[in-house]
Amino acid sequence: MPVGQEVHRVEVEKWDGIAARARSDLSLRLHDADFGAYCARVSTMAGIAPFLGPLGGRDVLEIGCGMGEIATLLACSGARVTATDLSSQSIAVARRRARLHDVADCVEFVVAPGEQLPFPDERFDVVVGKAILHHLDVRLAAHEVHRVLRPGGWAAFSEPLGMNPALTFAREHLPYPGKNPRGADRPLDKADLAAWEAPFREAGHREIQLLAMAERAVGGHRLPLVRRLDRYLLARAPRLRRYCRYVVITLRK
């Protein structure tokens, strides 16, 4: 079996299993009114909503939609949404979530890999994703993201970084709230960032969650003082950025 197919098999098995767990309608209800409110609340999405701008009436692709949280919020923001995922079970939950929020008519869900998007060239104004790029083959997927974007289009992704040895150990061996089983994913390193940014006319990234990665260990509760300390340290000691938990990548075609 080719390596790419084996990776996909492992990921489908993992996410189908997670999505198959019983969920009530109440558990699928979202607390944020729209995508902007979500980005303002979730620290790993910092800066994405302002970078993308108003989404009303725009054609937006979400790659790796999982169980539809972001796809639903994008539709609540007025976007025409297309959302892809490898896991058919996740897509089924995502459709259910969109129906619960009365935006099912605004979202098309497609089972497809990020390395082979089944869309024509220059189809979308915006491409977004959360914790998806590190599951993909950058040699293929970066070209695909670039291909389906219209000239001048924007893309933004929030991704885990893999350059902190202590964090790598924790991901591999330590329990913490909300931890999913490891699949075939590999958090990004410096070379990966350069490869994702290479096809685009404009590109940048911002590392986030140095000390504030402790929020993950306490169930996602906000630690405002720690967040402020992070901003201070990362502004004054750029070498510390490689040790952050996440990175926000912004691209323009």
- Work out the pLDDT band at 4, boundaries 50, 70, 90: confident
What is the tens place of the pLDDT at every residue in 240-250?
Answer: 999 999 999 99
Q: Of 100, 89, 41, 46, nearest to 65 (Cα)?
A: 89
Is pLDDT above 60 for 3?
Answer: no
Percent with pLDDT over 90 in the chain: 77
| Residues whose CB falls within 8 Å of the CB of residue 108, separated by 6 or more in sequence, listed in order | 81, 82, 83
CB 136 within 8 A of CB 115: yes
- Work out the pLDDT band at 2, boundaries 50, 70, 90: very low
Mean residue pLDDT of the chain comes to 92
Q: Where are the alpha helices (DSSP H) in the chain?
A: 3-19, 25-28, 35-41, 48-52, 69-76, 88-100, 138-148, 165-173, 190-197, 214-217, 224-236
Percent with pLDDT over 70 in the chain: 94
Q: Given this model, what pLDDT does residue 178 score?
A: 58
Which structure tokens are listed for 210? Answer: 């140095």
Q: Which of 144-153, 212-221, 223-232 has the lowest mean pLDDT?
A: 212-221
What is the tens place of the pLDDT at every residue in 11-40?
Answer: 889 999 999 998 999 999 999 999 999 999
What is the tens place of the pLDDT at every residue in 41-90?
Answer: 998 999 999 999 999 999 999 999 999 999 999 999 999 999 999 999 99
Topology, domain 3-252: Rossmann fold (3.40.50)
Domain chopping of the chain, boundaries: 3-252
Task: Give the up-direction half-sphere exposure of residue 122: CA atoms within 13 A in the CB hemisphere.
Answer: 4
Q: Given this model, what pLDDT does residue 180 score?
A: 62
Q: How far is CA 252 from CA 75, 81, 132, 198, in A?
A: 22, 19, 18, 11
Place of tokens 């980005």: 39
Q: Which residue has the higher pLDDT, 74 or 10?
A: 74
Q: What is the pTM of this model?
A: 0.91
What is the number of other CB atoms lying within 10 angstroms of the CB of residue 239?
A: 7
Sort 6 into a burial class: Cβ within 10 Å, 0-12 / 13-18 / 19+.
exposed
